[in-house]
């Protein structure tokens, strides 16, 4: 286990959860489901059950360092990787892998977002350990694919074939970004497509080789930091490195191009908690389909299938409202049809343009 590491990505803004998720306090630091734990706390606890705690690293924007320290008091400063600017997932992975390589060149790493929900944690542990074991033995880049339960247009899809390097570790054929409904239906019917969960497992040797092959300029930038990682020089080096990086995802930059990409079809009660609809699906509902967080402070009359999230101490009365999202926080009230929730991201952009950053 000493060669197993986890890199938790916690730098996003979570704009689809506005107005609860704000730039200064995004969704990974919020108890969105009302469980008593924030999403990043749940993610850290999940990995700490089978990854040595000192081998768990958090990569986040430098403006969130105090939030990370407050919510994860066991984490030391050297386990927090701070990004000076947002540059998508490829630079944060490159940073994390070079830092871990300096600590342990034989490391195998699971890279995962901080804001996902995993209901079956023991099953999740089994899948991750199987992937880490394979990554430690083979030159491969492994991703976990979720067996789809519906033709969802909000997820990317992974197609795989029968070729495999180990039991249930299959060769990836194609990646497809969020498809339209008809294509998603055809994916589901074919039986060889999985949802892309954005969870990756590899050895530091394999992923750094992949950076050299597919993102050579970015690889050169972070390779120059050898000698600075895990020293007082690291922060200054990273400040300069990030401003040289292009904005590109690890999916597009490497996973869609590399030849040694494999997927493990998995099922462990996964949700990426990407939208209010995903929270609604996971929340307890009353007999007419209303999900209310917290449970007190809302009175409903002739209202059904609504997602309501309000601050404690507020009273909200709904009458004659069906299939709506009603969310209040930070002096902002959002009322939006549930089937139009994908427009929240655009609403946030409009608010920023019209009113500045005060409400973002």
pLDDT of 142 reads 97
In this prediction the pTM is 0.93
25 strand-pairing partners: 22
pLDDT in tens, 139-182: 999 999 998 888 887 888 999 988 878 888 999 998 888 878 88
Question: How much is the pLDDT for 325?
Answer: 95
**pLDDT given for residue 228 in this prediction:** 97
Identify the helix (H) or strand (E) that includes residue 318: strand 316-319
Mean pLDDT for the stretch of residues 244-255 = 94
The residue-averaged pLDDT of 100-115 equals 97
What pLDDT, on a 0 to 100 scale, did the predictor assign at position 162? 81
The average confidence (pLDDT) of the chain is 93
Tell which wins on pLDDT, 273 or 232: 232
Per-residue pLDDT tens over the stretch 288-333: 999 998 777 899 999 999 999 988 888 999 999 999 999 999 889 9
Architecture of domain 4-140+195-260: Alpha-Beta Complex (3.90)
pLDDT band at 127; cut points 50, 70, 90? very high
Task: With a cut of 90, say whether residue 111 has pLDDT above it.
Answer: yes
Average pLDDT over residues 265-273: 91
Distances (CA, A) of 355 to 330, 347, 349, 352, 360: 15, 12, 10, 5, 9
What is the C-alpha separation between 182 and 224, in angstroms, rounded? 47
The per-residue pLDDT for 313 is 86
Segments making up each domain of the chain, as ranges: 4-140+195-260, 276-355
Task: Give tens-digit pLDDT for 6-62.
Answer: 999 999 888 888 999 998 999 999 998 888 899 999 999 999 999 999 999 999 999
For residue 347, name the pLDDT band (cuts at 50, 70, 90): very high
SS3 content of the chain, % helix, strand, coil (to 5): 40, 25, 35
pLDDT in tens, 272-281: 888 888 889 8
Model pLDDT, residue 233: 96
pLDDT at 240: 96
Mean pLDDT, residues 191-212 taken together: 95
Coil, helix or strand at residue 26: coil
pLDDT at 336: 93
In sequence order, the 6+-apart residues with CB closer than 8 A to the CB of 180 are 153
Contact 197, 146 (CB under 8 A): yes
Q: Is the dihedral of CA 260, 261, 265, 268 positive or negative?
A: positive
Which pLDDT value is given to residue 134? 96
Distance of CA 10 to the CA centre of its chain: 8
């Amino acid at each position: 286990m000493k060669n197993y590491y986890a890199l938790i990505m916690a730098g996003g803004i979570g704009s689809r959860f506005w107005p609860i998720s704000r730039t200064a306090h995004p969704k990974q630091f919020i108890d969105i489901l009302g469980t008593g734990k924030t999403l990043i706390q749940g993610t850290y606890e999940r990995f700490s059950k089978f990854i040595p705690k000192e081998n768990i690293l958090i990569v986040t924007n430098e403006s969130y360092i105090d939030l990370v320290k407050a919510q994860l008091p066991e984490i030391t400063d050297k386990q927090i990787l701070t990004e000076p600017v947002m540059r998508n997932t490829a630079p944060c992975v490159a940073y994390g892998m070079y830092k871990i390589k300096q600590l342990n060149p034989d490391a195998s790493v699971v890279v995962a977002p901080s804001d996902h929900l995993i209901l079956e944690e023991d099953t999740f542990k089994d899948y991750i350990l199987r992937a880490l074991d394979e990554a430690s033995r083979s030159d491969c880049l492994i991703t976990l694919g979720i067996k789809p339960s519906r033709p969802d247009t909000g997820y990317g899809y992974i197609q795989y074939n029968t070729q495999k390097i180990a039991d249930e570790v299959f060769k990836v054929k194609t990646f497809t970004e969020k498809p339209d409904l008809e294509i998603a239906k055809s994916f589901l019917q074919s039986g060889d497509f999985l949802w892309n969960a954005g969870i990756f497992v590899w050895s530091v040797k394999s992923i750094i080789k992949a950076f050299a092959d597919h993102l050579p300029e970015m690889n050169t930038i972070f390779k120059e930091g050898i000698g600075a990682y895990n020293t007082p020089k690291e922060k200054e080096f990273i400040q300069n490195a990030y401003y040289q990086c292009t904005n590109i995802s690890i999916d597009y930059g490497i996973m869609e191009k590399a030849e040694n990409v494999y997927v493990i079809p998995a099922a462990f009660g996964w949700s990426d908690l990407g939208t209010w609809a995903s929270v609604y699906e996971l929340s307890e509902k009353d007999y007419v389909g209303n999900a209310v967080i917290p449970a007190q402070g809302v009175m409903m009359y002739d209202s059904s299938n609504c997602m309501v999230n309000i601050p404690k101490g507020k009273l909200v009365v709904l009458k004659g409202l069906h299939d709506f999202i009603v969310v209040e926080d930070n002096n902002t009230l959002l009322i939006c049809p549930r089937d139009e929730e994908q427009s929240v991201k655009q609403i946030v952009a409009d608010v920023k343009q019209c009113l500045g950053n005060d409400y973002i």
